[in-house]
Amino acid sequence: GSGPGGSVSGTLLAEAGKNVIILEEGKYYDHNSFSAETSKMTSELYRSGGVFPFLGMPTIAFAEGCCVGGGSTINGGLLWRTPQNILRDWETKYKIKGYDNENLMQHFSTIEKDLHVIKHQVEKDSNIDSLLLKEGAELLNWETEMAPRAVKDCVNENLCATGCISGSKQSMLNTYIPRALAKGASLFTECRAIRICCIMNRAKKIIVKDNNQNKKFEISFDHLVLAGGAIQTPHL
């Protein structure tokens, strides 16, 4: 995958001198190919055209990106540090070591710098919806806080979820993917991994279906990073 997991992993490995292939099921779009046509962009950037329900009571629509940049291409660029209580749960309940706040602090700082994370300010005449929310909260004596977002020179088009036309949102498409490619990584798009082949309980080869040519090919490797999101990773 080429979302936050795959892009960051691929970039760091490529910058360390490794031979990297990033495999993406969806298509490649740069911000110049995005438009303000919500239905068109939803059908192109989202898995199953945005129709991807979870079964249950009630049924909940699940938004999953299927394009270069993955979920980072279709989200609002919001980025928070993992809360302390969650990190404590990982350590005490699940015995996961090395993920306390002290160990992660340097990584949080690096990511925030790489993605230009700021607390975007409400500007009169340019972010009217946020301004109204802020004014309403103040009338109710509610506290407000600006959300930290990965944006650079945001022009408040409010098209984050269907592709940022201006390229202001610092998605993987605009940050880590270019870094990986600059260091020699290869990006295969419209290719779906369908099976992992193991030898002696070690993943050594992956079977890939090329959606364009409707044929299969194999990729052999020394190491494999599975980064297809919360649904596709365990499914594969």
Q: For residue 123, what pLDDT band results from cuts at 50, 70 and 90?
A: low
60, with CB counted inside 10 A (0-12, 13-18, 19+), is exposed
- pLDDT of 187 > 90? The answer is yes
User: Percentage of the chain with pLDDT > 70?
Assistant: 96
- Say whether pTM exceeds 0.85: yes
What is the pLDDT, as a whole number, of residue 125?
A: 63
pLDDT tens digits along 207-234: 999 988 889 999 999 999 999 988 889 9
pLDDT tens digits along 26-58: 999 988 889 999 899 999 999 988 877 776 788
* Positive/negative CA dihedral, 195, 90, 119, 125: positive
